[in-house]
Structure formats: structure tokens, C-alpha cells
Structure 1
Amino acid sequence: MKPLVGSFPRLPRQRWQRWQRVRTISTDIQQQSRDHKERVVILGSGWGGYTLSRKLSPKRFAPLVISPRSYFVFTPLLTSTAGGDLDFSHIVEPVRDPKIKVDFVQAAAYAVDLNRKTVLCEPTIVKGGVTETHTDEEPKGGFRHTKKWERGEPFEVAYDKLIISVGAISRTFKTPGVKDNAIFFRDIGDSRRVRRRVRECFELANLPTTSLELRQHLLHFAIVGAGPTGTELAASLRDFIDSDLITLYPALDGLPRISLFDVAPNVLSMFDASLSRYAMDTMKKEGIDVRTSHHIEGLRWGAPGAEPPYEMDPRSCLTLTTKEKGQLGVGMCVWVTGNAMNELVSDSLCNVDRFPTKSALMKDGTTASPEVMQDTWMYKKAPRTGALLVDGHLRVQLQSKTNATAVLQDVFALGDNAILENGAPPATAQVTAQEAKWLGTRLNHDNLEKSPPFSFHNMGTMAYIGNAKALMQLPEGDAKYLPNKLTGRMAWLVWNSAYLSMTISWRNKLRVAFRWMLNRFFGRDISRY
């Protein structure tokens, strides 16, 4: 075992001082016989990593998934869990499966050594907050190590092929107070926090000692970001409150409010203008306060007009400050706007110490000359987002200071942390799943070089807008049995059918269908835990 000397220079200083003594660890996974199969290390267990790990042929490859979470989340139905329509376990698929030959290590990847073809990782098994979203303002060094026992022993994993599919984190745009006081919405832990806080606010507002003004603040729920996730979350919470919670708290009838904020002039801007207007009008009729063209300036604990210091107090409300309306009292603020790159992509995958001669070829397919190898190289990234700029075959690229480009033949990136250089499709689960299936097929058939570049096939866009109504938009010319645009209850039926069929396992398909049926007869789950 050789010590890591200078292999990962981009690590933060404290982490580097602790990890520079790390030695290559021969784990059981690395020792076990793979029958000469290629080790494909997949970073991430989201739409890209999970789908690809199931797509790769077990006869040719030995996939190893490395992720801070040991499960896959069916994100299109994540808002339904926050609104009580589904249980959290209904949209979760475990990465470990006795019927699937995929290895798994619960850890976070923090650096990649292209020359030695290794990934440096830290276990996240006993860390707090693993299932809660991290933001673009997280302290450098990754997870907050608040306790000594949260620090895992770092280790290295060798790869033959590497897939980077770590996704993105929430961008706060450095809005004061958002990082510490808002609830982000990307994972099961986030959904659980939203559902718990809604019930918490109702219980606090129902206390006889709570003033009318504080009740109004506590029962005002703000959602920032009017994309599909924010819009569906607002609609799901509206259904949950109006259909179920008000029957439990009749004294609070007329007080709950849901406000949907966005800096854009319209909601669901990825839809046709007519569908966007329909969504906005429908949501307003259903009682959701849609506030477009609004700019958020801050979020803090305490009532509007309160004097500092502003200390966290969940028994009270928060104050959301907007440029247009000033200070607004809210019981909860959910932040669902913008993607930012996580630490691995933004901090570690930057400069390259030595040109990886065994892995990289020049853009034209030739071998790099000695003079070119001596140049300063770095990962090629999109200027605006900082995402990895991949070629048409999803391969990660390097760029020199003289603007030469090299393509890594054994490192791929897909999902929200990567952008195609020949035209970027939208950052959606649909795109990531198609990228994973395409790459898996190409690797299985060993015909990546002979295949045409990846091309996204738009299967349509859907969004739930509340009260059993939805939107659906199909690409022009693709609709055979349905119109290109569909709204209302018919779109809601298609929405239900599509997501039920897309749910991964038959176990969860049956559970979701049965739960929807139970909700029709007995109402949603209103428990707080």
C-alpha cells in the first residue's frame, strides 16, 4: 500500500492535513474476485447512478455504487409525500438488492486521481443530515463534522471506468438567512421536515395562548421557486390543508395561506405560455397566492418588525423579506430554486496535476505530444453553471491553458452535474434517466466510439397544480393518442398513470396504487413524526 502524496491538492486544508496519510485500503469489495470484469465505479444513487447500475451487464462489468445515501428516490412523487398522499417508503428503492449484482458503499466521494484511477471517499453511515439537502454555501470540506464520531476513516477505491452522477445542490444565491432558516427540497429528509413543520405550525396556532397575529404568521407557508417542484409542492400542501387538516382544526378555518414566489414573470416557464397562464389562474382560484416577479432579500426568525437579536425559535414564526412587499410573517419557507455544483465538482474537480496519459486522448483522437502533456490542464466546465462539460458520448473533458481539449476515455458524467457541449437538454430526471440508459447500452455493446452522440428524446412534461388538476405538454408531432396540450382532470389522470407506471419496482407500484385508493376512502395521512 502506497501513501497518497500530493494526489489530491484541491482538498480543503484541514481535510488534506487529515487525509494526506491515508493509504490505499484493500476492502472486501476490492479483494473479492470479479472474474476479470471491469470495475465501474458510479458516484451517486440518483436517477443517473441508480439507473446505470441496473443497466450495466453483470457478465461484463462489476458495478460499485458510492453514495452518501443507500437508496434511490423517485423524485416526481416527492411532493406527494410532503402532502401526505404517500408514505416516504413508497418512493424509495434500496441500492442493495439481492437480485442485482451491484456492490455498494455508503460514502461521499471527495476527490479523483486520474493518473492512479482512484476515488478518495469518506463514509457517511453515521453522519447526521445525510438525507437533507446541502446548499451552495456549505462550509468547505463537505458535511458539517459537529461531533468527533461523525468523522469516518477515509479510503480509496480503484476504478476501470468512473461515472460521475452526484447531481446538484440547492443554490441560495447568497440570500441572507436562507441557508440556515429555509427548508430545501431534494430528498426524503427534506420532505419529512416540510410535513412535520406544517403540522407543527397548526398545533402552535391552535394553542389558546397564541395571538391572532402570530396564528396568521404561523399558518402562512411560503415556497420560493415556481418551477415544477415548487408548483407541485404548493398544490400538494393546499390539498393537504384544505381537505384534511382544516377538518381537524376547524377553529383555524380561513387562516392558512400558501404563497408561491418566483423572480420570473410566470410559473412553470418550461411550459407553453397558454399552459403557464392556465396554471397560474387555476392555482389562484384554488387559494394559492402566486407572487411572480418577486425578489427575496432575506429570511430570519422572529415576527416582522421584531428587534434583534434574531435567534432560532421554532415556537414562533419567520420573517421573509421581499423587495416588492417588504417583511412577511411565515411559518415555513421552502426553497426550491436553482442548482449549484456540490463540493466534488466545484472544488475537487478543477486543476489536474499531471496529464493522464493512459486515460486521455486529444479531441481529434490522437495521442497527446510530450509538449502538450507539460501544459497546465484542468477539467472543462460550463462557464455559467460550473458543471462538467462533456462531449456527445458523455465523456469528461480536460482543457489546457492554451485551449487544447483532451477527452477522458474512462471517465463519464451525466445528470445535473454535467452539460453536453453540443446542446444542453433541460436538467430533469427524464434527461438523466435517458443518459444513463444510453450509456449503459453503449458500454454493454462496447460500441461507444461507433455510436452517434447522445440525443435527448422529449417524452413530454407534466405538472400537478392541485385539486385533481394537472398540465401535460407533448412535443409537436409526437402525440398519437393524446393532444399536444392537456389540462384539468384528464391531464391529472395521465399524470397519475404515467408516474405509477414509471415507479421502479412492482412492490412500490402496488403500494402507491393501494395508498391512493385508501386516500379516496379515508383521507391522507395526518400523523406528525
Structure 2
Amino acid sequence: MMRSLVRTVPALPPPRWRLVRTLSTDILQRPREGKERVVILGSGWGGYTVSRKLSPKRFAPLVISPRSYFVFTPLLTSTAGGDLDFSHIVEPVRDPKVDVNFVQAAARVLDLNRKTVLCEPTVVKGGVTQTHTDEENGFRQTKKWEKGEPFEISYDKLIISVGAISRTFKTPGVRDNAIFFRDIGDSRRVRRRVRECFELAILPTTSPEMRRYLLHFAIVGAGPTGTELAAALRDFIASDLITLYPALDGLPRISLYDVAPQVLSMFDESLSRYAMDTMKKEGIDVRTSHHIQDLRWGAPGTDPPYEMDPRGCLTLTTKEEGQVGVGLCVWATGNAVNEFVSESLCDVDVFPTASAVMKNGPSGPGKIPQGPWTYKKAPRTGALLVDGHLRVQLQNETGATAVLQDVFALGDNAMPETGSPPATAQATSQEAKWLATRLNHGDLATSPGFSFRNMGTLAYIGDAKALMQLPDEDGKYFPHKLTGRRAWLVWNSAYLTMTISWRNKLRVAVRWMLNRLFGRDISRY
């Protein structure tokens, strides 16, 4: 009888998996050749910049982020208005030309004593940036299939740059019904919804009243993001969409709401007034000193229950004018600290004796004051209160402060004690470059602390007009303030120059030229 060619392999005993596994793949093994592993949490302006600036000869950077790309946020509003494609402002974190490792995951728990970060994979996600989470709610509710097996990563140095989330001020209905504007997915939703509202409005079954509601687009927050988004949508509608829907001419309306008495409060009062006057002439309804009370689905005056129905409109309720029907509400208000900072970085279980140095006091075994210890945070915002060298600090009940020598924080989730820079990409990028330079030179302890240099402020206000404001010390070489077309040319030149890769610089320039010749992209997808 022929012997069977199939060999039976005895079943292996089931492995005894631990709840948390430490990664041991080749790419994540301890760095060789004496390099220090620098774990960077976040792939925004802070995390992406510092990962590219660290010396590959001294450090082995590892970026951990829920998203696998960097977004050039100054041009994000241009993608919503069809001026640019989404891929034109995105840079991948993984790059064969750069010696930087990457893991797509979200940091959950930080162990300062063991120098490890507990992470959860976010490869399969419905919304990897978690833009619908606000400061009043914990981690975003995830589906069962979205959850991955947690793992730990050890570090020699840690840089926390997880960014911020949108502040909702606990306004009812905002978290569930508004579109936040922080990432590519948000911009895509805005552009798609605008086209959706036009298509719904042109249907013969749509009533005149509902048509007016659907074509009313509300933007809450008159800072740079909200103002530029209103201007971009105005250009998109006036120059392109109305040519496709001539029957709807005169009906579209854009309203810009803010609780402050003026728009773009970071600009000089004369520039802010110019922006308000210009936008009003362009047809944008600027509603300052307005307080949002509620956002729900359904037309004004309808009775509950209010169920989500994208075939209809939403109702935005303000203290000043009551209920208003809108087809879209974009929430572009202030920042709140990320839930990782607000929820996870609170109490310190075991004081990290090996890496913490007492501030203005003795250090070492037996000289550390008794706990309990907590992360030092700004009382009003909850951001990490770092020292002048961007190092994270701990404090106890007696007021003693310890400075961590191997954990840093920058960007919107950190606030330097020596003076907080504005919450802008410009400030975060400068912090990242400063920190990378000091680590590369090895002179962090002896160098002066970080100091923000204001390079000026730009804002687009529609119809090829913009604002530019330079700091006072630069006014002797260049005009201190510019408005209109000249400022728009500076706006274009500055952002084209700042776009990260040469590939995207060329793509942006070519796209702008094509827009002038053939119009904007009006596809709906």
C-alpha cells in the first residue's frame, strides 16, 4: 500500500497571549549603532516636521499617528472650494527617501517609569482622525471591527504632538450634526454636501421654502479657517456652480457666525474691518456677536423627533435671531486639547526617578518629594504646561515641580511657561524645528529656551483678495499691512513656497493655472 505523501502535523498548543504585546518586528526592534529611538506622537505640523529634521545619524525616529499622512492645512479650505485636489496638500509619512519609521496607531497610555507607550492600531477605521470627539466626551465610540490588539512601544525620547480637537462649548447637537473642519475627510464632506444641496434644491419636488434652506450654508467661527472657508465657498458657488444651476441664481447664501464682535481678531482692527466690509460686498452674510444655542436636523418650526435626514435641511438656533434653516453647518471654532492629553495624561502612577529632575530643588534617590504626582497643565485650557525647552513637567500637591528630561510636547497640546505662541501652524513648525536642532546638536540643556518669531499673518477673503499683516519690526523693509490683490499675490506665493515637497509645489501651481483657464473642479464624490 502506497505510503501517504501527506504528513500529519500535531496541533500546537494555543499560545498564551498577554493582553498587551511588545512589538518585536525588525522595523521596530531597538535601534542599532547606538541610535536613540525618538517616538513621535502625531503626524501634523509638529510631529511631521520634527521627524524630518532629526539627524538620522544620531536618532531613529518612529512616528505613531492615527493617520498616515501630513496635511498642509493652510490650503485645506482651497480643496473644499474645488481650487485644489485633496492629494495636492497631502504628504505621506512613509517615504523611502527618509529614514523614518511609522506605525498607524493611536497612543492610549503613557508609562513614564518604564518609558513605554501603549497604542491601539487604527489601520481599519471609519474616521481615523476622530474629528467628532470633543472635550466633553471620552475616546470616540468605536465599532467592534475597528478595535485592534493593543501593543507597547518603548522610547528613549518621546515627543507629544497629538494636536487639538474642535471645541464645541457643549452646544447641543453640534457634535452629531455639524461638520468639523480639520482634515481631508472633513473638506471632502463639505464639498460633497454643497453639491448635494444644489442637486436637492433643483429637484421639482423641492418646495421654494426648502430650496432656500438647502442653499443657506452656515460657518461657525470667524477665525482664519472659518473666514477662508466662507471665501472659498463663495468663489466656488459664484464662479462655477451658478453656471451649472442658472435656475438657482440669487438663492445661495453663506453666513459666517461668531460670538466675537469682529472677524479675524488676530489682525489689526483696520484690517478686520476691511475684511468684514469686503466679504459683505461679496455677498457673505457676516453675523458677529451671535451665540449658537442648538443645531438639529429638520426645518425650522417642525416638531420632534428630529431624526437625521440629509434629504432635507438642518435648523441652527441662535440667541439673536432664533431658528434658521441651513443646508450645511461647518464648525470651525477654537481648539480644545486632544483626549489623549485630557484623559490619559493626568495622574502619574510611578514617579520616573531616572528621567525627572526637580525644578529649583534637589534631585536623585531619596530627595524626591512625596506624591501623588500629576502632569502639570494650564488651568484654563488643560494643555501641557512645558518649560522654556518644551519639556513636559510634573507637579505634586505641595507645589513642587519636576522636569522630564526625555519627554517633550509641542503644538496645540502644549503651552510654554515662558510665553505661549499663537495656536497656528507657523508656531508649531518653529517649535518642531527648534527642538530638532537642539537635539541634533546635543545642547538642549545649555541653549536659550524657545522663542517664537512672528513671520506675519495671511488670510484669504474671497474674489482674489486677501489680508497680510507683518510684525512691527519688519515694517521698515516691507509694507506693514497689505490688502486686496497685492495681498492675494503674497498669499499665493507664500503658500506655494511653503508647500512641503517639490511634487506638490508643481501640482499646486499647475492646478491654479488650469483653474484660470478651465474653471474649478466641480465633480461630486
In structure 1, the residue matched to 2:516 is: 520
- 1:346 alignment partner, one of 327, 334, 342: 342
SS of match in other structure, 2:472 = coil
Moved over 3 A (4+): none
In structure 2, the residue matched to 1:411 is: 407
1:96 paired to 2:91 = no
1:295 paired to 2:291 = yes
SS of match in other structure, 1:217 = helix
Superimposed CA distance per residue, residues 414-463 of structure 1 (whole angstroms, 9 cap, x where no aligned partner)? 00000011111110000000000000000000000111010000000000
Partner Cα separation in structure 2 for residue 296 and residue 246 of structure 1? 29
SS of match in other structure, 1:465 = strand
SS of match in other structure, 1:215 = helix
In structure 2, the residue matched to 1:70 is: 68
Larger radius of gyration: 2
Contact 1:390-1:413 at 8 Å conserved across structures = yes
Q: How does 1:224-373 map onto structure 2 within 5 Å?
A: 224-364=220-360, 366-368=362-364, 370=366, 372-373=368-369
Partner Cα separation in structure 1 for residue 254 and residue 26 of structure 2? 51
Letter in 2 for 1:164: I
Superimposed CA distance per residue, residues 56-102 of structure 1 (whole angstroms, 9 cap, x where no aligned partner)? 00000000000000000000000000000000000000001111000
Letter in 2 for 1:301: W
Contact 1:132-1:190 at 8 Å conserved across structures = no
Partner Cα separation in structure 2 for residue 428 and residue 316 of structure 1? 36
Partner Cα separation in structure 1 for residue 462 and residue 404 of structure 2? 46
Q: How does 1:116-155 map onto structure 2 within 5 Å?
A: 116-131=114-129, 133-137=131-135, 139-140=137-138, 142-146=139-143, 148-155=144-151
Superimposed CA distance per residue, residues 179-200 of structure 1 (whole angstroms, 9 cap, x where no aligned partner)? 0000000000000000000000
1:24 paired to 2:22 = yes
Aligned-pair CA distance for 1:369: 5.8
Contact 2:136-2:170 at 8 Å conserved across structures = no
SS of match in other structure, 2:435 = helix
Q: How does 1:385-396 map onto structure 2 within 5 Å?
A: 385-396=381-392
1:59 paired to 2:57 = yes
Partner Cα separation in structure 1 for residue 361 and residue 34 of structure 2? 27
Partner Cα separation in structure 1 for residue 347 and residue 118 of structure 2? 16
Superimposed CA distance per residue, residues 352-397 of structure 1 (whole angstroms, 9 cap, x where no aligned partner)? 1121001100112741563634321000000000000000000000
Aligned-pair CA distance for 1:35: 1.6
Letter in 2 for 1:41: V
Contact 1:319-1:327 at 8 Å conserved across structures = yes
Aligned-pair CA distance for 1:138: 6.7
Identity between Structure 1 and Structure 2 (%): 82
In structure 2, the residue matched to 1:113 is: 111
SS of match in other structure, 1:40 = strand
Query: TM-score, normalised on structure 1?
Result: 0.94
Moved more, 427-436 or 122-131: 122-131
Aligned-pair CA distance for 1:145: 1.6
Contact 2:45-2:428 at 8 Å conserved across structures = yes
Partner Cα separation in structure 2 for residue 506 and residue 480 of structure 1? 32
SS of match in other structure, 2:21 = coil
Superimposed CA distance per residue, residues 128-159 of structure 1 (whole angstroms, 9 cap, x where no aligned partner)? 1114513315742x23222x221101000000
Query: TM-score, normalised on structure 2?
Result: 0.95
Aligned-pair CA distance for 1:285: 0.4
Aligned-pair CA distance for 1:477: 2.0
1:40 paired to 2:38 = yes
What CA RMSD, in Å, does the superposition of the two structures yield over aligned residues?
Answer: 1.3
Partner Cα separation in structure 2 for residue 206 and residue 354 of structure 1? 63
How many residues of Structure 1 are paired with residues of Structure 2 in the alignment?
509
Contact 2:20-2:151 at 8 Å conserved across structures = yes
Partner Cα separation in structure 2 for residue 419 and residue 238 of structure 1? 36
Partner Cα separation in structure 1 for residue 136 and residue 327 of structure 2? 24
In structure 2, the residue matched to 1:4 is: none
In structure 1, the residue matched to 2:478 is: 482
Contact 2:385-2:417 at 8 Å conserved across structures = yes
Letter in 2 for 1:187: D
Moved more, 19-28 or 467-476: 19-28
Superimposed CA distance per residue, residues 235-256 of structure 1 (whole angstroms, 9 cap, x where no aligned partner)? 0000000000000000000000
Q: How does 1:393-404 map onto structure 2 within 5 Å?
A: 393-404=389-400
Q: How does 1:164-203 map onto structure 2 within 5 Å?
A: 164-203=160-199
In structure 1, the residue matched to 2:156 is: 160
Superimposed CA distance per residue, residues 276-331 of structure 1 (whole angstroms, 9 cap, x where no aligned partner)? 00000000000000000000000000000001000000000000000000000000
Contact 1:355-1:373 at 8 Å conserved across structures = no
SS of match in other structure, 1:412 = strand
